[in-house]
Amino acid sequence: MTEPTPQAALSTAIGVLNKVILGKDREVRLALACLLARGHLLLEDVPGVGKTTLAQALARTLGLRYRRIQFTSDLLPADVIGVSVYDRETARFIFQPGPIFAELVLADEINRATPKAQSALLEAMEERQVTADGETHALPDAFFVVATQNPSHQLGTYALPESELDRFLMRISLGYPPAALERELLAGVDRREMIAGLKPVLSAAGLGTLQDAVRSVYLSDALLDYVQALIAATRADRRYAPGLSPRAGQGVVRAARAWAFLHGRSAVLPEDVQAVFVAVAAHRLQTADGAADPLDVGRRILGAVPTG
Amino acid sequence: MSRAPSAADRHLPLACGALGLAVLGHVGVLPTWIGLLFIVALATRLLGVLQPRPILRRTVLAVFALGSGVVVLANFRTLNGLTAGTSLLVAMAALKVVETERPRDYATLAFIVFFLSLASLLRAPSPLRLAHALACTWLGVQLLLETQRPAAASPLPAARQTARLLGLGLPLAVVLFIFVPRLEGRFWAVPSGGSEATSGVAEEMNPGAIAKLALSDEPAFRVRFDGPLPERASRYWRVLALDAFDGQTWRRSALAATLAPAEPADSRVAVRYSVELEPSHQAWLPNLERLVDWSGVRARRDADGTLALQDNEAGQPQKVDSLTSYSARATPPSAVPTGELDATTRRRTLSLPSGSAPRSRALAGEMRAGSATSRDYIARVLGYFRTEPFAYTLEPPPLGPNPVDEFLFTSRAGFCEHYASAFVVLMRAAGIPARVVIGYQGGDLNAYGNFLLVRQSAAHAWAEVWLDGEGWVRFDPTAAIAPERIRAGLDGALPEAEARRYRHHFAWVLESRAALDALKAGWDRLVLGYSSRQQARLLDRLGWIGDPLTGLATLLGAGFALTALTLLTLQLAFRVRPRPDRVQRAWELACRRLARRGLARDPAEGPLDFARRVRTARPGDGAAFDELVRCYVRIRYERAPVAADTEEFIGRVRRFRP
C-alpha cells in the first residue's frame, strides 16, 4: 500500500474525526483549519460535550505527540514548563522538560488556573520556546495548544484577559449534538476506547508540508478588499469598542487560506472568509459585557458587508 | 574632480526632451550659434551620465553665461524684445542643463520650458503653436511631478497625474478665456525687434518690390461676401494709391493723405463683405474699389480713396499689428457719378520729374498725336504693350538710372510694377492724370470655409486714370501682356519654367493647404477675434445690465465657483462609488436577471453560496449559473486570470436568461 498524499490523508482525517465527534463536521473542520494555519485553538463550552475527546482525537489522527495539562488553581508555572533538578553525579542542574514539550498540548480548563500559570503557557504559545532558570529551550516544530475552558461565568474561574485571548487563532464551541446523533452516541462504543484504537493518518512532518502549502493559497485584490471592508466594519461599529486589530486581520486571512485549502481550492473566496470569520473574530471583539456574542458578530458584520 | 551619475539623472531624458520641444517653437528666429550651444550643452550633459567626467567649474560656467549675454547683446543691440530675450533664455537654459544635478535644478528647467512655450505663443498665436505650448506644458508638469517621485516608482502614475492635473486645469482656462476682460489693442506690448520684416505691400514701389511678394504664400487677408462672389477679373483690392514719382520710385504724396471730402453716400448695388486682415504692420486696410462705407474698425478715408486704421484715442494712424476684422460696402465701378478733379490733384497726378524718361515722353507725344480722345490714346498704349514683344516674368534684368525708358525700349521684360509704372508715365506724358495703385488682385475661394483667401502672392500693381465725366478709371496694363494673370492668377501667367520653380502643382498640396487655412480662419474668428465687443455681446445675451467690468467680474467668480463645484462633485461621486469594471458590471447584470425571477442575491452573500441557492431554487438554471459563477470566481479571486476568461464570462452572462 502506497503512502497516501497529504491532501488525501486530510480528508481521511476528517472522516475519522467525524466518526468520533458526531454531528460536528463544521467544528471539526474549523479545528483542523486552525492547526493548518499554525494557530492555537480555544474550545469553549460546558463540560462534557467532547472538548477533550476532540483534542485527543486530533492528536491521534494527525500523529502528533500528545500531552495533557490539567489546569487547577494550584498549578505552578514549573508544572507546565518543567524544572531543573540537581544531578549529584555530574554536579549540575539538569532540565527536566515539563508536559509542554509535546506536539499537541491539551490545556484543559485553562481558566481554572491562576493568571501566573496561565501566562506561562501563553508565553510558550507565542514564542514557541520556554525559558527556565535563564536557559531557553525550543519547543518542537509542530506545536499546538488546544485549550479548553468553561464559560467564564462558572464558579472558580479566572477569565483570560483579552491580550491573551488574542494568542488563540480561533475560539469555537461544540454544543450539544443533534438528538438522533446523541442517541447513536449513547448506544455506541465508549469514545475512550475508540480513540485508543485510532490509527494516525498523518505525521508531524506531513502536517508541516500541508501548512506550507496553505501559505501559497492565493489572495486576490478583490478578496483583500472584502477582508478590509469586514475589519473596517468592526471598527466603525460602536458596539465593538476597539474593533479588530491588524493582527486579527492577519488571523482572518490565515484561517481563510486554511479553510480554502481544506476545501481543495487554490484561492480564497469570500465564503472561506465568512466560514472562519466568527471563530477568528468573536473572541477578540469586546462588547460592554465581555467578548462579543458569536451570533451577533455573524449577523451584524457578515450580513452587512457586501462581498463586492 | 568628477561627477558620479546621481539618482536625479534619471530625469535627464525627459528634461532634455521637454527643453528641446520648447526650443523648437523658436527655431528659425534664434541665431545659429544659440542652437549649436544648446545642442552641444545637452549632448555634453547626456554623455556625462554614461561616463563620469570632470565637472565644469562654476567659474567656467559663469564666463560662458556672461559671454552668451554679451554676444546676444552684440547680435540684437538689446536684451529686450522677444527674439533677443528668447535667445538669452535659451543660452542660459543650455548652461543650466550642464550644471543640472539635483531635483531642484530640474524644477528650474521645467519653469524654463513653460516660459519658452509662452514666448512661442507671443510670436504668433496660431493653433499649431497652442498645441505646441500644450505639449510643452504637459512635459513640464510631468517633469515637475517626476522630481517628486521616488526612484523605484513606475513613471505611469506621474503621466496619469499629469493628465488629470491638465484636465482639471482646462475648464478653468476656458472660464478665464471667456470672462477675463479683453484689453483693446495688444496686451503684450512686445517690442518686436528690428529683424521682423513687415509683410504686405510696401508704401513705396520700386521695380522688384512686388515680384518679391509674389513668392510668398502667406495669407494677406480673408474675405467673406454677403451674396455672390464677384468674378475674379473684377476683384481688385486697393491698398494704396501712389501719385509721386521721382524717376525711380513711386511714393504717396502728402496731398493724397488729406482727408477725403465728404461724398454723398451711394448704396446702389452695393457689394457687402467682411475682411479679416492678417497683421501687416501698416495702417492700410484693403478694400474693393469705390468703397461706400465700413464698420467694425475706426478708420479714415483719404482723398485718394485709401482707408487707414486709426487708434481709438487721438485718431492717429495705427498699424495693423494683430488680426483685424471689419466689414465694408462697395459699389461696382460704373455706378458712381463724379465731379471735377481739383486743380492741385490734377497737377500732382500729371507731374513727371524733369528730364526723366525722354524716349517715353517722345513715344507718348507721338501716340497722343495720332489719337482723337483720351480713351483712344489709352487703347493705343495698351495695344503697344500687346503688340511689341513684351514678356511677363518674375526675373527681369536689372534696370539702370532711367528705368522707364530702359524697360519700354530695351529690356521689355518685367512684372506688374514695371507695366503699371511705365503706363502711368506714358499717361502723364500725354497730359492725362494718372496714378499707380498697389494692392491685391484675385484671391482663391476656400471651399472648406466658404471664404476668399487672398495671399501675398496676389499682390499686384495697376493704374488709375482720370477721365473727365467718368472719374478715376482702373486700367491694368498687365492684363494686356499677360491676361492669364487676371483670369487665373499668377500660376497661369508666368513662363512655364518659372512657374514650375515657384509653384506647387500637386493637387493634394493645394487641397490640404486650403483645409489648413479654413482651420486657421475659424481659429482667427473664434479665438483671436474674441474681443471686448464679443464679451459685451455675451453679457448682453446673458441679460446683464450695468457696468460690463462688474458683469465680467461677477461671471468670472460664478464661473470659478461653478467649475470648482463641478470638480468637487465629480471627485465625491467617484470616491463614493468606484466605477465597477466590465466583469463586475456583467456579474451584477446576471444577478439582476435572477432577482427579477425572485432570487435576489444578498449583497453579503458569496458567489458560491449564491450559486448553491440558485441550484436548489431553480434547478433548470443551476448548471448554466454554476458555469458562470465558476468563471466569475476564476477571474475575480484566482491567480492570473486571462483575458479570454473575461470574454467567456461576459458571453455566458449575455446568454444567461433565467
Domains of chain A and any CATH numbers:
1-174 (3.40.50.300), 210-308 (1.10.8.80)
Average pLDDT over residues B614-620: 88
Asked if the model's pLDDT at residue B3 lies above 80, the reply is: no
Instruction: Taking the CA atoms of B73, B77, B83 and B84 in sequence, report the sign of the dihedral they define.
Output: positive
Contacts of A230 in chain B (CB under 8 A): none
Cell digits of residue B249: 520710385
Q: How far apart are CA B286 and CA B238, in angstroms?
A: 5
Question: Is B416 known to be catalytic?
Answer: yes
Average pLDDT over residues B549-568: 84
Q: What is the 3-state secondary structure (H, E, C) of B624-654?
A: HHHHHHHHHHHHHHCCCCCHHHHHHHHHHHH
Among the partner residues A269, A274, A304, nearest to B637 by beta-carbon distance: A269
Q: Catalytic pick from B418, B460, B517, B524?
A: B460
Q: b or e along B186-198 (b: 16 or more beta carbons within 10 Å of the residue's beta carbon)?
A: eeeebeebeeeee
Q: How far apart are CA B485 and CA B390, in angstroms?
A: 15
Task: Supply the pLDDT for residue B1.
Answer: 39
The per-residue pLDDT for range A200-218, each reduced to its tens digit, is 888 888 888 889 999 999 9
Locate the chain A residue with the closest alpha carbon to B641.
A220
A-B C-beta contacts closer than 8 Å: 43
SS3 B235: coil
Q: In a mutagenesis test of the A interface, which of B610, B613, B636, B646 is the best target, namely the one with the most A β-carbons within 10 Å? A: B636
Q: How far apart are CA B379 and CA B373, in angstroms?
A: 10
Question: CB burial class (10 A; 0-12, 13-18, 19+) of residue A174?
Answer: buried
Average pLDDT over residues B581-591: 86
* Residue A267 CA neighbour count, 13 Å, CB half: 19
Among the partner residues A218, A274, A303, nearest to B639 by beta-carbon distance: A218
Locate the chain A residue with the closest alpha carbon to B604.
A306
Among the partner residues A222, A268, A306, nearest to B604 by beta-carbon distance: A306
Asked if the model's pLDDT at residue A252 lies above 90, the reply is: yes
Question: Is B16 known to be catalytic?
Answer: no
Contacts of A303 in chain B (CB under 8 A): 602, 604
Note whether B602 contacts A220, CB cutoff 8 Å.
Answer: no
Confidence of residue B194 (pLDDT cuts 50, 70, 90): very low
> Cα distance from A265 to chain B (closest Cα, Å)?
9
Question: CB burial class (10 A; 0-12, 13-18, 19+) of residue B268?
Answer: exposed
Question: Is B476 known to be catalytic?
Answer: yes
The per-residue pLDDT for range B488-528, each reduced to its tens digit, is 666 666 666 666 555 555 666 767 777 887 887 788 777 87
Locate the chain B residue with the closest alpha carbon to A223.
B637
Task: Supply the pLDDT for residue A268.
Answer: 93
Give phi and psi for A84, each to the nearest 5.
Answer: -100, 125
Query: Among the ranges A241-245, B419-423, B525-529, B576-580, which has the highest mean pLDDT value?
Result: B419-423
Task: Supply the pLDDT for residue B451.
Answer: 84
Confidence of residue B117 (pLDDT cuts 50, 70, 90): very high
Locate the chain A residue with the closest alpha carbon to B635.
A220
Note whether A303 contacts B637, CB cutoff 8 Å.
Answer: no
The per-residue pLDDT for range A96-146, each reduced to its tens digit, is 888 888 889 998 888 888 888 888 888 888 888 888 777 888 888 888 899
Q: Catalytic pick from B9, B302, B304, B476?
A: B476
DSSP letter for B543, please: T
Among the partner residues B606, B608, B636, nearest to A220 by beta-carbon distance: B636
Note whether B638 contacts A267, CB cutoff 8 Å.
Answer: yes
Task: Supply the pLDDT for residue B526.
Answer: 79
ipTM of the prediction greater than 0.90, yes or no = no
Show which residues on chain B lie within 8 Å of chain A, measured between beta carbons.
584, 602-609, 633, 636-639
